Structure 1
Amino acid sequence: MYPVPTSLSPSRVESFLSCPMAFRFASIEKLPEPPSVHTTRGSLVHRALEILFMLEPGARSHDAAFSSLDSAIHEYRSDPDFTDLGLTLDQAEVFWGEARDLVRGYLAMEDPQTIREIGLEIRLEAAVGDLTLRGIIDRLELDDAGELIVTDYKTGRAPGPKYVQSAFNGVHFYSFLCQAVFGRRPAKIRLMYLKTGEIIEATTSEQSVRAITTRTTAVWKALEKACVTGDFRPKTGPFCGNCSFKAWCPAFGGDPALAAAEAPRALATVSPA
Structure 2
Amino acid sequence: MAKRVESPSSINTFFQCNRKYYYHYIEKLPTKASIHTVRGNIAHSVLEHFYTLDVSSFQNYEKDFKVAVQKLFLEQWGAYKEELFALQLPQKELEFYFEETLLMLLNWCHYYLKEFKEKFSGSIEETFTKMKPITEVEYSSDFLSVRGFIDAIRSEGEQVHIIDYKTNANSEIKDSILLQLGIYSLLYQEKHNKIPDKVGVFFLKDKLYLLPVDQQLLENARFAIEQIHAQTMTTEKIADYKKNITPLCKWRTGQCDFYSVCQPYR
Query: So what's the TM-score if we normalise by structure 2?
Result: 0.82
- Partner Cα separation in structure 1 for residue 193 and residue 132 of structure 2: 18
1:183 offset after TM fit, Å?
A: 2.4
**Residues 180 and 235 of structure 1: CA distance in aligned 2, closer, same or farther (over 3 Å):** same
Deviates most, 4-13 or 85-94: 85-94
- Partner Cα separation in structure 2 for residue 9 and residue 132 of structure 1: 9
Whether 1:142 aligns to 2:155 is: yes
Deviations 1:163-198 (A, max 9, x none): 645422101211111111222221111111112x14
For residue 123 of structure 1, what is the aligned residue in structure 2? 138
Contact residue 158 and residue 198 of structure 1 kept, 8 A: no
1:146 offset after TM fit, Å?
A: 3.1
Question: For structure 2, which runs of at least 5 residues remain unmatched after alignment?
Answer: 59-63, 120-129
For residue 85 of structure 2, what is the aligned residue in structure 1? 83
For residue 257 of structure 1, what is the aligned residue in structure 2? none
Task: For residue 142 of structure 2, give the secondary structure of its aligned residue in structure 1.
Answer: strand
**Residues 246 and 229 of structure 1: CA distance in aligned 2, closer, same or farther (over 3 Å):** closer
Written as runs of structure 1 = structure 2, the 5 A alignment for 1:1-273 is 6-55=4-53, 61-78=65-82, 80=83, 82-111=84-113, 113=116, 116-128=131-143, 131-143=144-156, 145-160=157-172, 164-195=174-205, 197-206=206-215, 208-227=217-236, 230-241=239-250, 242-253=255-266
- Partner Cα separation in structure 1 for residue 40 and residue 11 of structure 2: 20
- Partner Cα separation in structure 2 for residue 76 and residue 37 of structure 1: 11
Question: For structure 1, which runs of at least 5 residues remain unmatched after alignment?
Answer: 254-273
Contact residue 249 and residue 264 of structure 2 kept, 8 A: no
Number of corresponding residues: 243
- Partner Cα separation in structure 2 for residue 24 and residue 223 of structure 1: 9
Which amino acid in structure 2 is aligned with residue 221 of structure 1? A
Contact residue 21 and residue 235 of structure 1 kept, 8 A: yes
**CA RMSD between the two structures:** 2.4
Deviations 1:4-44 (A, max 9, x none): 65211011100000011111111111111111111111111
1:63 offset after TM fit, Å?
A: 1.0
Contact residue 42 and residue 154 of structure 1 kept, 8 A: yes
- Partner Cα separation in structure 2 for residue 84 and residue 39 of structure 1: 13
1:62 offset after TM fit, Å?
A: 1.1
**Residues 159 and 73 of structure 1: CA distance in aligned 2, closer, same or farther (over 3 Å):** closer
4+ residue runs over 6 A deviation: none
**Residues 94 and 223 of structure 1: CA distance in aligned 2, closer, same or farther (over 3 Å):** same
- Partner Cα separation in structure 1 for residue 231 and residue 171 of structure 2: 27
Give aligned-pair identity as a percent: 21
Contact residue 36 and residue 85 of structure 1 kept, 8 A: yes
Contact residue 4 and residue 227 of structure 1 kept, 8 A: no
- Partner Cα separation in structure 1 for residue 33 and residue 76 of structure 2: 17
**Residues 213 and 56 of structure 1: CA distance in aligned 2, closer, same or farther (over 3 Å):** farther
